[in-house]
Structure 1
Amino acid sequence: MDIQQLRTFVAVAREGSITRASERVHLSQPAVSAHIKAMEDTLGLALFERTPRGMDLTRDGERLLERAEQTLAAHRALLEEAARIKSTLTGRLRLGMGCNSGTEALGYLMTGFAERYPQVDVVLRHGTSRSIAEGVRNGSLDAGFYNETGEPETDLSVVEISRFAIYLAGPPGTAVAKDGPDWRRLADLPWICPAPDTCCGEAAEALFCRHNFRPERIISVDREQVTRTLIAGGVGVGLLHADAARESEATGEVELICDAQAATRLLFACLGERVDDPLLRAANAIVTATL
């Protein structure tokens, strides 16, 4: 006895007619009659009495009707739960976040997972841009936000979140000649910048190489707000992302010396070979929807 036979039995019992039951379950009348006969043969019971009015349940049929309806309800519940399980993401998403990058995009992603996939455990790790990209590549991270001043490796699948410039900034009153920065004078000042494996660190190294100097003193700071405060306090020159640089210039905290990196990109990346992973597919969809 299969589930379709149970559906047919309940339909005939509720409709009281082979004809109406066949319409309800979308089967031919002979097929409905065959289902009822197969059930009666399997159970060894007469379920209906054939009368001029149609099909009337026997006493045995009446006793089995409630059980049949309960069985059908349980079957529907099982299928619904299976569908929920299939559509519900579970597991752990190991996410990397580069210093001073993608805070707003990260917030959208974390909120999206909390609302749509509450059973996913998101584990966040901070690091430099280079360490985040390397973590994605070696498998210690599933995905990550990081800043890229060049071209990402071809083994990564990336979503570009935004682009921004990086500026070299100095304390108010830093002299800038009409024909451009005095790099000899700037080389004598302390430079406030993060490690070379960050976007600002890479921009600083590019300036040192381009103008053939290295500052006598480098103050290593990996938080932009701290860099901004130190520059405003007259400690030295440093590198700021465009938003922070323009805001600081507008308030008179700093003086912008030059454009150090014209186009740095904020990327969300995962391994190209893992783009079809359900967790990463969901993460990419949330990130893309915010653009």
Structure 2
Amino acid sequence: MEIYQLRTFVAVALQGHLTQAAELLHLSQPAVTAQIKALEEELGIALFERYPGGVQLTEAGKLLLPDAQRILALSRDMLHRARGMSGEPKGKLRIGTIGVPGRLRLGPLLARLRQRYPLISVQTHHAISGVVLNDVRKKVLDGGFYLGRNPYQNLNTMVLSELRFCVAMPADWAKVYAEADWKALGQADWLGLSQFTSLSSITQELWREHNVAPNKVGEFDEEATLVEMLRAGIGLSILAERTAQRFAADGSIALWRGGETVIAAPLQFVYPAEREADPLICMLRDTLREVWELG
């Protein structure tokens, strides 16, 4: 069964005449007759009854006409959709992600990309911030989220928001350190951070600012791990304010000076500078601006 046969079937049914249907389809009458005959043979039923003045649908033809019309409508929709896609960007985007997906607005971003650019496929690669930065620099990734200040001139950045951080501590340390000064904090144990995390550079900056050289306990690379270490009573750490407030609310950790902001850092999206005019990167930047309401 071919689409052109169904188109001829519908045209003859609506016109009620082979010659008029042939004119409408820009075919000869013998060609129309041959297509109807071939369709009837494939279906194994007669679709029309012939009369001197024209043709009329059989009962079977009346039942099958709506099906043929639906198939033709779907084929037209498919054709229009394909033609509409011909100018759309195509390809694959590899995006590096960090931390908590909700903090990155990853769901809305991927949903908007899928809705607007159906020919784009997206792969996400979760890692710590420093790894994402290096993978974008080495072109392993097309772009990625990064927390901190971009140190590379060959990477361009979009600042999405600013994250604020506070000092968190084990719950039973609150009596000693909740209102302590920086000199006292500097004498306490702190959770060490992997050099590849942005939190590492942020923490180092904070310690330099307050002339603190604390004893670092271990080396950790995920926010969730830091929270577990805090709850286990191992040492102090800085945490993103929203995370810190959430866990302080149930009493599993405590916050220095009620969660006072001690340092802030930009959450950015980084991508290769040489791809500034790349249509895929332009599309991605535009979508990020909308999702993050950057104007």
TM over 0.5: yes
8 A contact 1:101–1:266 mirrored in 2: no
Aligned to 1:267: 268
Look up the equivalent residue of 1:203 and give its one-letter code: I
TM-score (norm 2): 0.62
Q: Which residue of structure 2 lines up, in the alignment, with residue 92 of structure 1?
A: 92
What TM-score results when the alignment is normalised by the length of structure 1? 0.63
Q: Secondary structure at the match of 2:108?
A: helix
Q: Which amino acid aligns with 2:273?
A: G
- Indicate how the Cα distance of structure 1 residues 164 and 81 shifts in structure 2: closer, same or farther if over 3 A, else same: closer
SS in 1 for 2:93: strand
CA contact (8 A) 1:166 1:239 kept: yes
Q: CA deviation at 1:162?
A: 1.2
Give the whole-Å Cα distance in 1 for the aligned partners of 2:169 and 2:241. 14
| 8 A contact 1:102–1:146 mirrored in 2 | no
Q: Is 1:277 aligned to 2:278, yes or no?
A: yes
Give the Cα–Cα distance (whole angstroms) in 2 for the partners of residues 91 and 132 of structure 1: 21
- 1:225 aligned partner: 224
Which stretch shows the higher mean deviation, 203-212 or 130-139? 203-212
1-structure distance, mates of 2:180, 2:226: 27
Q: Report the Cα offset of residue 166 of structure 1.
A: 1.7
Q: Between Structure 1 and Structure 2, how many residues are aligned?
A: 222
Equivalent position of 2:26 in the other structure: 67
Deviation at 1:83, TM superposition (A): 4.5
Equivalent residue number for residue 181 of structure 1:
182
Q: 1:200 to 1:169 in 2, by over 3 A?
A: same
Please list every run of 5 or more consecutive structure 2 residues that lacks an aligned counterpart in the other structure. 1-18, 28-75
Q: Is the 8 A contact 2:166 2:262 kept in 1?
A: yes
Deviations, residues 125-165 of structure 1 (Å, cap 9, x unaligned) = 122222222222221111111111x3554433322221111
1:192 aligns with 2:191: yes
What are the equivalent positions in structure 2 for 1:1-291 lying under 5 Å apart?
Answer: 66-67=25-26, 83-100=83-100, 103-148=103-148, 150-151=149-150, 153-172=152-171, 173-174=173-174, 175-176=176-177, 180-183=181-184, 186-189=186-189, 191-210=190-209, 214-257=213-256, 262-291=263-292
Q: Give the Cα separation in 2 of the matches to 1:283 and 1:107.
A: 14
Structure 1 gaps of 5+ residues are 1-58, 69-75
In the alignment, residue 127 of structure 1 is paired with which amino acid? A
Answer yes or no: is the 8 Å Cα contact 2:168–2:230 preserved in 1: yes
**Hey, which bits of structure 1, 4+ residues long, moved more than 6 A?**
62-65
How far off its partner does 1:65 sit?
Answer: 6.9
1:53 corresponds to which residue?
Answer: none
- Classify 1:104/1:128 alpha carbon distance in 2 versus 1 (closer, same or farther; 3 Å): closer
Do the aligned residues in 2 keep the contact of 1:164 with 1:265 (CA within 8 Å)?
yes
Shift of the 101–85 alpha-carbon distance from structure 1 to 2, 3 Å rule, reads closer
> Measured at CA, do residues 95 and 261 of structure 1 come closer, stay the same or move farther in structure 2, by a change above 3 Å?
farther
**Aligned alpha-carbon RMSD (Å):** 3.4
User: Compared with structure 1, are the counterparts of its residues 179 and 242 closer, same or farther at alpha carbon in structure 2 (3 Å cutoff)?
Assistant: closer
Cα 1:211/1:186, change in 2 over 3 Å: same
Residues 279, 178 of structure 1: CA spacing in aligned structure 2 closer, same or farther, 3 A cutoff? closer
The structural deviation recorded for 1:241 is 0.7
The residue that corresponds to 1:15 in the other structure is none
**Secondary structure, in 3 states, of the residue corresponding to 1:118?**
coil
Is the 8 Å Cα contact of residues 168 and 239 (structure 1) preserved in structure 2?
yes
Q: Deviations over 1:1-56 (max 9, x none)?
A: xxxxxxxxxxxxxxxxxxxxxxxxxxxxxxxxxxxxxxxxxxxxxxxxxxxxxxxx
Distance in 2 (alpha carbons) for counterparts of 1:122 and 1:245: 31
Question: What do the CA deviations read for 1:222-268 (whole angstroms, capped 9, x no partner)?
Answer: 22123123212312212211111223333333222376752211111
> Aligned to 1:109, what secondary structure does the other structure show?
helix
Question: Percentage identity across aligned positions?
Answer: 25
